[in-house]
Amino acid sequence: MREEWIFADKHLSKISVSSNPNNEPVSVHGTSDHLRCIGIGTDAAVFQSIDVPDYAFKMYANDRVQKVQIETEVYEKLGDSPYFSTCFGYKDNYLVLSFEEGINLYDCLLQGIPIPNEVIEDVDQAREYVRQKGLNPRDIHLKNILLQNGRAKIIDVSEYVKPGNDMRWEHLKKAYDLYYPFIKGKPVPHLIIETIRKTYNHRSIHSAPFDEFMDQTYSFLSKFWKKED
């Protein structure tokens, strides 16, 4: 039996995705009245189809299509879990996932939407689950976590086959515990959040330790909000 998601295929074939230098978000080429772009990452763009809206189609950039297989295999190993999307299949350059409602944590910060503590606990549990399945929970950052009915859904598992700890989650958690109570519910301007993101991503072994980076960021934010009051 053909899966119903195949109805989106002819529309997806009108679209292509290309990557950009410096790990900047991908570019989308072409359009279709049947598709809505619901997210842009650094490897792929994600679409929802108006004909079969329960699915999310993660289309990889032309030079990253080998990741389709890798991410599919990660989903197979993860099996059924409330912390992750379901992967229904794949084709050439895209993965077919369950469409997940919700707003990512990056947008929560931008809009001042409170991020409850349960989300942090869920991500910790999800990471434990990933390790139990023999995988490595990497690349867990604000744009890869959705706030869904007060709980967490992790939406990008492509790096779980890579070794090493990128420390992203540990750092985010530390910032959440120490500073989030002071900024909870306050929208963080886009320019500020992007400056923090870029400074963090370009830190080198010669840069200040993470704790110092966090202190400086927080003191900058406090001054900014004082000026606004």
Ligand X SMILES: Nc1ncnc2c1ncn2[C@@H]1O[C@H](COP(=O)(O)OP(=O)(O)O)[C@@H](O)[C@H]1O
Q: Which residues bind ligand X (CB under 6 A)?
A: 38-44, 46, 56, 58, 85, 97-100, 104, 143-144, 155-156, 158
From ligand X, Mg ion, none, which one binds at residue 85 (CB under 5 to 8 Å depending on kind)?
ligand X
- Interface with Mg ion, residue 144, by CB under 5 A: yes
Between 39 and 137, CB nearer to ligand X: 39
Q: Report the chain's terminal Cα–Cα distance, integer Å.
A: 61
Q: How many CB atoms lie within 10 A of CB 168?
A: 16
Query: Applying CB under 5 A, which of residues 71, 156, 172, 214 lies at the interface with Mg ion?
Result: 156
Could you tell me which residues are beta bridge partners of residue 153?
Answer: 146
Where does residue 61 fall: left (phi above 0), alpha (psi -120 to 50 degrees), or beta otherwise?
Answer: beta
Pairwise CA distance, residues 87 & 67, whole Å: 14
Nearer to Mg ion, 41 or 137 (CB): 41
Q: Which is nearer to Mg ion, 78 or 221 (CB)?
A: 78
Distances from the Cα of 220 to the Cα of 67, 111, 188, 223, 226, angstroms? 38, 19, 12, 5, 10
Residue 176 binding: pick among ligand X, Mg ion, none (C-beta 5-8 Å cut-off by kind): none
- Chain positions contacting Mg ion, by CB under 5 A: 41, 144, 156
